[in-house]
C-alpha cells in the first residue's frame, strides 16, 4: 500500500470530517478560514443570517469590499454598510473599501500554510501560493462553512506540474500559467488539483506563485498549490506573521494522477488572445498589434513586485499618445509602499491613470475600452463583453509585457527592454491593518444593529423538487458558456447583486436579451447547454437568477465545478447528456418532460428526458453523491441544512 502522499492529499486528509479519501467520491472538509467579497457577500450573509448561527465558527472569516466600489447610486454603499454591520455582529473581520483586493490582502494578512480556506470568489486559490488549500465556492457554501458546516468537494485527481530551470529575464510567472493553460485548456483542470513541485519552485517568490495559483481557476481546477518552504517563511516574516509558517511538501515518492514538466528556462512571453484564457500565443505568433489600452492590476498581478517592475519600465518615459494606461495596485499595503519609495510618482509621471486598490476594470467597473478597442490586461479573464465593451478585444499578459507595450503603442515583447535588474521581496512589508475592522466582542455583539438598505431583497426560496417536470426548453446555448454570459457583471448590473428580481432581468443578456421575459412567462423552463457550462466565476447569482426565473433543470454536455455546485445548492437539477450527440436532438422551444424525477433521482444514475415535441427519449446522467441527491429533493442547500441540522 502506498503511504506516500502528495501535498494536497496531506491537507485534504487532515481536514476530512465526512467520507473517505477516495478519488472521485465526495468528501466533507473542515474549513479553517473563509473570505467573501462584496459582489457575492451580501447574498452569502443573507444566507448566513437565515441559518440562525449567532457567531461564525471558523478560525478566521473575513469580508472584503473590493468589487462594487464605483458608487454611482446608493446601492453599493448600502450593501457595504450592510456587510460591515453583519460582520461586527457575527464575528467576521471587515476589510473596508480601499484596503485592497480580497485575494491580495488575504495572502498578505491572513493566509497560512496547511489551512483550508473557502471564498465566495473563484480566485480564492491565490492562497495556494503560500501552501494553503484555498478553494472558490458559492456564497451558500461559504455561509454553511461560517456556521461550522463542512464544505464538500469531489476528491480530486492530483496533477503534478514539475518545474525545472529558471525564468529568463522579462519572462514572468504569468507566462508559466499561460503555458499551463495552453497545454491543458479551460476545462483541463475540472475535477483536479494542480500541485507544483520541482527545483524551479525555489526560483519563484510567493507573489509569483500566487499569480500561478490564482489563474489556475481558469483551468477549471478545484485549486492549485505550491509547497510551503523557506521562501514562504521569508514572505510571512516580511508580513510580520512568521508564527503561522509550517514547512509542507509532497512526500518524495508521492504518486500523481498525471505529471507535466515545464522547464522555466525555455518559456517566452505569452498572451491569451480574445476571447478565452487558453487561446495562448507568443508575441511572434500574434505579430504587429496596435493597441488602445493597457490595464495593470487585478488579483492576478498587482503585488508590490509586479508594480516595481512596471515602475522600472516606465521610469522617465511617457505612455504612448494612442494608449490609455491604468494601474491599480492590489492593496493598500502595496499602494502605500509605492507611495513611500517613489515608484508611484514614477508611474504618475509617465502618464498612468492610477486607480484605487480594487477589482475595477477586471470586472467591468470602469475603463471599458473604446469600440473594437484592443486592450492588454494583466488580468485572468478575457471573456467576450466582460470589459464592458461588447466588441472589445482583450489580451491577457504579464505586467512586464503590458508596461513595455504601453510605451510603444504596440504589443511588445518585454525582452526587447534590455538588462533586467533583480527585483526582490522587501525584508519587511509596511504593515498597518487600520482598514480591517475587527468584530464586536461576544459580550457586545447582541447590541449591534444590522443596517439594511432598500436594494437588499430576500433571496429566492426554492421548493422541494416536484414529482414530474414539464417544461419548455427556453434557451439553448453552445460550449464554454461562462457565468459572465449567464449573469453578466459590469458597472451597470453589479449594484443589483443584492436584488435577485432586478438582476434577473439581465440573465443571459449577452446571448439572448429576450430570455428573462420568456422564462418568466413560461413559469417553468429548462436550459440546454454545451461542454464546460458555467465556467468562470463563483457567482451564485448565475443559479439564483435562473431559479427566480423558473428554471428547473439544466442539461449540458458537461459542467464547470463551482457552477454545478451552485445549481444544486439552488435546487436546480444539473443533467449531463449520456451521448453528447443528443445535444443536437433538443431544440429551443421544445416541450420536455421528466416523469417521476424524484423517483429516478433516488434510484439510479440516469434520468430519462422525453422531448414531447419530437417524441424522442433522451438519456441523461446524474453523477451525484447521496447528499447532493437529497439536497435536490429538499430544494437546495438551505432547505437540506434545515432538514438535517447540518451542512
Side-chain half-sphere exposure of 124, counting CA atoms within 13 A: 33
Q: Which is nearer to ligand MIC, 363 or 406 (CB)?
A: 363
Chosen from ligand MIC, ligand SF4, none, partner binding at 173 (C-beta under 5 to 8 Å by type)? none
Which position among 67, 109, 561, 627 bears the catalytic label?
67
Q: Which is nearer to ligand SF4, 298 or 504 (CB)?
A: 298
The answer for residues whose C-beta is within 8 angstroms of residue 638's C-beta and 6 or more apart is 47, 50, 51, 140, 461, 462, 569
- SS (HEC) of 163-219: EECCCCCCCCHHHHHHHHHHHHCCCCCECEEEEEECHHHHHCCHHHHHHHHHHHHHH
Least separation in angstroms between residue 133's CB and ligand MIC is: 18
395 neighbors 373 (Cβ within 8 angstroms): no
Chosen from ligand SF4, ligand MIC, none, partner binding at 101 (C-beta under 5 to 8 Å by type)? ligand SF4
Chosen from ligand SF4, ligand MIC, none, partner binding at 538 (C-beta under 5 to 8 Å by type)? ligand MIC
Chosen from ligand SF4, ligand MIC, none, partner binding at 465 (C-beta under 5 to 8 Å by type)? none
Which position among 32, 66, 141, 278 bears the catalytic label?
66
Least separation in angstroms between residue 554's CB and ligand SF4 is: 23
Q: What grid cell was written down for 386?
A: 466582460
Chosen from ligand SF4, ligand MIC, none, partner binding at 539 (C-beta under 5 to 8 Å by type)? ligand MIC
Q: Which is nearer to ligand MIC, 420 or 493 (CB)?
A: 493
Least separation in angstroms between residue 121's CB and ligand MIC is: 4
Q: Which is nearer to ligand SF4, 399 or 439 (CB)?
A: 399
Which position among 79, 121, 141, 175 bears the catalytic label?
121
* Pairing status of strand 33-37 against strand 60-64: parallel
Which DSSP helix (H) or strand (E) runs through 162? strand 157-164
Where does this chain bind ligand MIC (CB under 6 A)?
Answer: 39-40, 67, 121-123, 136, 363, 489, 536-539
Q: Which is nearer to ligand SF4, 402 or 572 (CB)?
A: 402
| Cα 488 to Cα 387: distance, rounded to the nearest angstrom | 11
Q: Which is nearer to ligand SF4, 413 or 540 (CB)?
A: 540
Which position among 103, 109, 209, 539 bears the catalytic label?
539
Where does this chain bind ligand SF4 (CB under 6 A)?
Answer: 67, 101, 121, 123, 298-299, 359, 362-363, 379-380
Least separation in angstroms between residue 142's CB and ligand SF4 is: 14
Which residue from 288, 305, 274 is spatially nearest to 398, judged by alpha carbons? 305
479 assigned to active site? no
| Cα 380 to Cα 337: distance, rounded to the nearest angstrom | 24
Which position among 61, 537, 538, 558 bears the catalytic label?
537
Q: Which is nearer to ligand MIC, 122 or 223 (CB)?
A: 122
Q: ∠ at Cα 619 (618, 623), nearest 5°? A: 145
Q: Helices 637-644 and 139-146, interaxial angle, to 10°?
A: 20
Least separation in angstroms between residue 299's CB and ligand SF4 is: 3
Least separation in angstroms between residue 39's CB and ligand MIC is: 3
Distances (CA, A) of 317 to 100, 329, 343, 346, 396: 28, 20, 13, 9, 23
Q: Helices 206-214 and 173-184, interaxial angle, to 10°?
A: 30
Chosen from ligand SF4, ligand MIC, none, partner binding at 190 (C-beta under 5 to 8 Å by type)? none
Which position among 381, 386, 485, 561 bears the catalytic label?
381
Least separation in angstroms between residue 352's CB and ligand MIC is: 23
Least separation in angstroms between residue 434's CB and ligand MIC is: 25
| Cα 222 to Cα 213: distance, rounded to the nearest angstrom | 11
| Cα 626 to Cα 79: distance, rounded to the nearest angstrom | 36
Q: Which is nearer to ligand SF4, 467 or 492 (CB)?
A: 492
Q: Which is nearer to ligand SF4, 60 or 123 (CB)?
A: 123
| Cα 557 to Cα 478: distance, rounded to the nearest angstrom | 10
121 assigned to active site? yes
Q: Helices 38-51 and 139-146, interaxial angle, to 10°?
A: 50
Burial of 354 (C-beta count, 10 Å sphere; 0-12/13-18/19+): middle
Sign of CA dihedral 134, 485, 628, 255: negative
Least separation in angstroms between residue 330's CB and ligand SF4 is: 8
537 assigned to active site? yes
Burial 331-348 (b: 16+ CB within 10 A, else e): bbbbbbbbeebebbebbe
Chosen from ligand SF4, ligand MIC, none, partner binding at 114 (C-beta under 5 to 8 Å by type)? none
The answer for residues whose C-beta is within 8 angstroms of residue 28's C-beta and 6 or more apart is 16, 17, 18, 19, 150, 151, 152
Distances (CA, A) of 458 to 43, 51, 454, 544, 572: 9, 14, 11, 11, 18
Chosen from ligand MIC, ligand SF4, none, partner binding at 40 (C-beta under 5 to 8 Å by type)? ligand MIC
381 assigned to active site? yes
| Cα 64 to Cα 37: distance, rounded to the nearest angstrom | 5
23 assigned to active site? no
Q: What grid cell was written down for 610?
A: 422525453
Least separation in angstroms between residue 87's CB and ligand MIC is: 18
| Cα 300 to Cα 481: distance, rounded to the nearest angstrom | 22
Helix (H, G, I), strand (E, B) or coil at 568: helix
Chosen from ligand MIC, ligand SF4, none, partner binding at 298 (C-beta under 5 to 8 Å by type)? ligand SF4
Chosen from ligand SF4, ligand MIC, none, partner binding at 60 (C-beta under 5 to 8 Å by type)? none
Q: Phi and psi (nearest 5°) for 545?
A: -65, -50
Q: Which is nearer to ligand SF4, 65 or 362 (CB)?
A: 362
Active site residues: 66-67, 121, 381, 537, 539
Amino acid at each position: 500500500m502506498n503511504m506516500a502522499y502528495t501535498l494536497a492529499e496531506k491537507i485534504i486528509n487532515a481536514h476530512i470530517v465526512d467520507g473517505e479519501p477516495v478519488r472521485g467520491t465526495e468528501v466533507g472538509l473542515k474549513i479553517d478560514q473563509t473570505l467573501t467579497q462584496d459582489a457575492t457577500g451580501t447574498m452569502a450573509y443573507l444566507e448566513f443570517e437565515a441559518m440562525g448561527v449567532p457567531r461564525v465558527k471558523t478560525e478566521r472569516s473575513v469580508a472584503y469590499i473590493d468589487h462594487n466600489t464605483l458608487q454611482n447610486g446608493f446601492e453599493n454603499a448600502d450593501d457595504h454598510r450592510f456587510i460591515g454591520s453583519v460582520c461586527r455582529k457575527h464575528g467576521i473581520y471587515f476589510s473596508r473599501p480601499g484596503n485592497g483586493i480580497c485575494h491580495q490582502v488575504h495572502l498578505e494578512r491572513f493566509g497560512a500554510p496547511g489551512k483550508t480556506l473557502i471564498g465566495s470568489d473563484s480566485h480564492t486559490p491565490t492562497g495556494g501560493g503560500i501552501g494553503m488549500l484555498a478553494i472558490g465556492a458559492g456564497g451558500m457554501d461559504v455561509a454553511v462553512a461560517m456556521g461550522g458546516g463542512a464544505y464538500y468537494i469531489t476528491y480530486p485527481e492530483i496533477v503534478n506540474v514539475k518545474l525545472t530551470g529558471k525564468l529568463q529575464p522579462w519572462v514572468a510567472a504569468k507566462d508559466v500559467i499561460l503555458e499551463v493553460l495552453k497545454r491543458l485548456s479551460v476545462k483541463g483542470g475540472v475535477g483536479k488539483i494542480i500541485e507544483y513541485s520541482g527545483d524551479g519552485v525555489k526560483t519563484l517568490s510567493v507573489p509569483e506563485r500566487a499569480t500561478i495559483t490564482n489563474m489556475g481557476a481558469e483551468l477549471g481546477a478545484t485549486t492549485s498549490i505550491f509547497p510551503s518552504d523557506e521562501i514562504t517563511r521569508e514572505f510571512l516574516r516580511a508580513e510580520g506573521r512568521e508564527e503561522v509558517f509550517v514547512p509542507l511538501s509532497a512526500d518524495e515518492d508521492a504518486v500523481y494522477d498525471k505529471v507535466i514538466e515545464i522547464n522555466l528556462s525555455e518559456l517566452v512571453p505569452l498572451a491569451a488572445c480574445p476571447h478565452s484564457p487558453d487561446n495562448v500565443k507568443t508575441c511572434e505568433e500574434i505579430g504587429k498589434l496596435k493597441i488602445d489600452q493597457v490595464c495593470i492590476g487585478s488579483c492576478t498581478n498587482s503585488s508590490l513586485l509586479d508594480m516595481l517592475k512596471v515602475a522600472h519600465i516606465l521610469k522617465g518615459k511617457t505612455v504612448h499618445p494612442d494608449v490609455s494606461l491604468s494601474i491599480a495596485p492590489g492593496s493598500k499595503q502595496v499602494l502605500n509602499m509605492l507611495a513611500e519609495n517613489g515608484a508611484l510618482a514614477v508611474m504618475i509621471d509617465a502618464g498612468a491613470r492610477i486607480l484605487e486598490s480594487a477589482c475595477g476594470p477586471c470586472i467591468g467597473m470602469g475603463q471599458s475600452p473604446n469600440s473594437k478597442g484592443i486592450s492588454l490586461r494583466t488580468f485572468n479573464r478575457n471573456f467576450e463583453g466582460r470589459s464592458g465593451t461588447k466588441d472589445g478585444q482583450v489580451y491577457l499578459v504579464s505586467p512586464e509585457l503590458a508596461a513595455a507595450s504601453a510605451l510603444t503603442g504596440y504589443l511588445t515583447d518585454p525582452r526587447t527592454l534590455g538588462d533586467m535588474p533583480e527585483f526582490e521581496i522587501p525584508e519587511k512589508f509596511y504593515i498597518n491593518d487600520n482598514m480591517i475592522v475587527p468584530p464586536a466582542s461576544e459580550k457586545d455583539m447582541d447590541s449591534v444593529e444590522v443596517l439594511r438598505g432598500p436594494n437588499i431583497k430576500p433571496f429566492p426560496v426554492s421548493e422541494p423538487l416536484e414529482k414530474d417536470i414539464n417544461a419548455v426548453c427556453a434557451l439553448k446555448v453552445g460550449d464554454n458558456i461562462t457565468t459572465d454570459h449567464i449573469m453578466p457583471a459590469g458597472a451597470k448590473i453589479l449594484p443589483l447583486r443584492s436584488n435577485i428580481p432586478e438582476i434577473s432581468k439581465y440573465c443571459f443578456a449577452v446571448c439572448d436579451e429576450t430570455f428573462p421575459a420568456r422564462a418568466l412567462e413560461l413559469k417553468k423552463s429548462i436550459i440546454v447547454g454545451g461542454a464546460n457550462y458555467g465556467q468562470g466565476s463563483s457567482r451564485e447569482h448565475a443559479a439564483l437568477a435562473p431559479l427566480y426565473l423558473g428554471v428547473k433543470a439544466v442539461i449540458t454536455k458537461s459542467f464547470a465545478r463551482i457552477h454545478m455546485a451552485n445549481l444544486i445548492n439552488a435546487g436546480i437539477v444539473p443533467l449531463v447528456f449520456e451521448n453528447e450527440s443528443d445535444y443536437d436532438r433538443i431544440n429551443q422551444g421544445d416541450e420536455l418532460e421528466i416523469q417521476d424525477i424524484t423517483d429516478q433521482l433516488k434510484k439510479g444514475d440516469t434520468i430519462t428526458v422525453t422531448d414531447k415535441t419530437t417524441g424522442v427519449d433522451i438519456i441523461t446522467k446524474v453523477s451525484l453523491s447521496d447528499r447532493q441527491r437529497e439536497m435536490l429533493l429538499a430544494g437546495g442547500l438551505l432547505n437540506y441544512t434545515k432538514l438535517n441540522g447540518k451542512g
